[in-house]
Amino acid sequence: MKYKTLGKSGLLVSELCLGAMTFGKEVDEKDSIKMIHQFLDQGGNFIDTADVYVGGESERIVGKAIKERRSEVVLATKVRMKVGPHPNDFGYSRRRIMEGVDQSLKRLNTDYLDLYQLHVWDHLTPIEETLRTLDDLVSSGKVRYIGCSNFLAWQMMKALSYSDFHNMVRFISIQPQYSLINREMDREILPLCKEENVGVIPWAPIGGGFLTGKYKKNEKPTSGRLSNRKGESSWENRATEKNFEILHAVKDVAQEIGKTPAQVALNWLLQKEEITSPIFGATSMAQFEENMGSADWSLPEEQWKMLDEVSKLPNEYPSRFIEKFRRG
């Protein structure tokens, strides 16, 4: 397992991050703990969860699994989503964040978080209030670093600028949806992260399961995650003509090099300059082991470029206009 620094920090994280969203739901506690221990035994050190996953059960299981191995783990969790019935049980107010971090620490059975992330932009709370609270948490020792997730480029840049101007802790990472079939972040977020040295830890790196290769065109699945998911990971969002074209290319490469489509999709991300550590999940030990098999090898350059080409976004304004005048 290789390691990379996370953004503008000296924190080393494994090139794969283990996502805990399925723990306590699709994966029972016993297998969840087994996955975590196996991940650590194979050199992984980066684990991501959130206070809202399975009503906090995911955090509790992660905390139980790492209790005797806390020093090995770069532990990340998130705050923002509604976790109770009361008006202040969501968002980024000082009150919610202060309560949220203590609740997460208790469930995770630890006295500090390596990375505390804002789950998605909050239109209600001024970012100034949120960043001041996060800065206080870092000063207190409860949190080591901060990050964000699902932010627009202007939102992240506003936060970074405010932190820099007021000499406060700044985001070292962002967690966006990004994969061969979701490359919207190429427009603004990835160039911004490269410019500002912000780490990128993508969620849904195999397109919510679409890039595993088990789905067929014009055949809506009756079982599995894409059969009943809504929003970003719905069948309607995934099963487009363009996405099946990308999937076909992934399957061809997988057959050529003797890997699975999921491993090819993950490895493409591992070789992308701006990407720090894709977050992979699993609903079974077999799936976990398959995803772990995406590390410690590299796609041939020709095949990597082919996948990059087939999946890239159209050349859009103002990017094409700016590129025209790159050299004067």
Q: Which residues are catalytic?
A: 53
Tell me how far apart the alpha carbons of residues 74 and 188 are, in angstroms, rounded to a whole number: 28
150 residue type, one letter: N
Q: For residue 106, what are its two tokens?
A: 């208790």
**Which residues are registered as beta bridge partners of 148?**
118, 174
User: How far is Cα 276 from Cα 98, in angstroms, rounded to an integer?
Assistant: 28
The dihedral sign for the CA sequence 219, 222, 224, 230: positive
Q: What are the tokens at 115? A: 């990375």
Nearest-5° angle of CA 103, CA 79, CA 178?
140
Is residue 275 a contact partner of residue 243, using CB atoms and an 8 Å limit?
no
- Rounded Cα gap, residues 324 and 223, in angstroms: 48
Cβ-proximal residues to 211 (8 Å cutoff; 6+ apart), any chain: 179, 180, 181, 246, 247, 250, 261, 262, 265
